[in-house]
Amino acid sequence: MNRIPLRLLIIDDSDDDALILTRQLRTAGYNTQVRRVQTAAGLDQALQDQVWDLAVCDYRMPGFGGAAALDQVKSQKPELPFIFVSGTLPPDSKDLIGRADGFVAKDNPHRLLEVLKNHLPKAQDVQNAEPPGGSARRGFDPATVPELESFFRKGIHDLRAPLRAMHSWTQAALEMNSAAELDPEVRDALGRVLRAAERQEALLRGLENFAKVTFSPLSPEPADLDLAAERALSSLRASLDRSGAKVMTEDPLGKVRADPNLLAEVLICLISNAAKFTAPDRTASITVRSEARGPLRRLWIEDQGIGIAPADQSLLFRPFERLHGVDEYAGSGLGLVIADRAARRMEGSIGVESAPDKGSRFWLDLPVA
């Protein structure tokens, strides 16, 4: 017999995922009492506030990983069953799963019901066998680049078509029915679908830009950094005006050897990143300047934003790594990855100097023209 209520502690940065999980359990007959947390401090407080029947946890969360959450729960409440409900786990996850009480893939929520019915037994060993050929990576064949580019672009195109239909029909459903005609829960659900579609479209745009900087032919030439900055600011003008962000450029910035299109893309990524990560009660103030460093020219993009903890800075240039939830700062998690890829293709590099609440100073090094 199911316990009623089921006191469920959800450790996840996504409110949408938590809502889907809760509804799945309620549909199955559980009368759930739910609390969602996404930080170590929030988890600590929740564990102190009351007794929980079950803790379910996403593995990948900005600033607070699933492994840390597992350690915290088992340290404070070792008797509390802990289940990972996640899209991904690291390759070396056997020990992690062994310490938890189960693992359920997000695309298979019915599995969670099976775990509950079996009284939350210890998870079975998860197969983590390497593919044939062992761990050695196959050598990269440059001849496959056109094929990869075609695969990438066609995949994005085909993913976008059903997404566009989902967004259009959901929008139409909202417009054809007034607020009074729709049940509030239905309207809320349709709104969540719209927001999810918009986030997915942002991700596809990010993937599209990543493909562009990865596969586009290079045309290195003497490039004027002042012109590149003007081009980037012109592209960002609408978004900068909406946010009120101020950008000051210290002329002259100098010349570098670079592909003009990739150079502009890097500056768009770095300036938009600086404008985005600003405290809600402040207006972004950004400075763009440069300095000579031997055979290189270093371009600085400095902001007075929220800053980045030293421990998190190594995550910035990894695909889809987010230090903040999507409800705090929207984005695909690809902007700095795109900038880094473009810089490396031009024989340059990118880095950052930052501290929490003290702003960030991103730099771009490129060969002097």
Token readout for 112 is: 């969670």
Q: Which strand ranges, in their side-by-side order, compose the sheet holding 6-11?
A: 32-37, 6-11, 54-57, 82-86, 103-105
pTM of this prediction? 0.54
User: pLDDT means per 10 residues in the chain (369 residues)?
Assistant: 68 83 77 85 87 86 86 90 79 75 73 62 30 39 63 78 85 79 84 83 79 82 95 92 90 92 92 85 90 91 87 75 60 79 89 87 91
Q: Tell which phi-psi region holds residue 307, choosing left (phi > 0), alpha (psi between -120 and 50) or beta.
A: left
Return the CATH number of 221-367, one of 3.40.630.30, 3.40.1280.10, 3.40.50.1370, 3.30.565.10: 3.30.565.10
Return the CATH number of 6-117, one of 3.30.70.20, 3.90.220.20, 3.40.50.620, 3.40.50.2300: 3.40.50.2300
What was the pLDDT predicted at 2?
40
What was the pLDDT predicted at 124?
26
**Domain-by-domain residue ranges, the chain?**
6-117, 142-215, 221-367
Residue showing tokens 């918009």: 198
What was the pLDDT predicted at 256?
95
Residue 363's nearest CA partner among 296, 279, 302 is 302
Q: Do domains 6-117 and 221-367 have the same CATH topology?
A: no
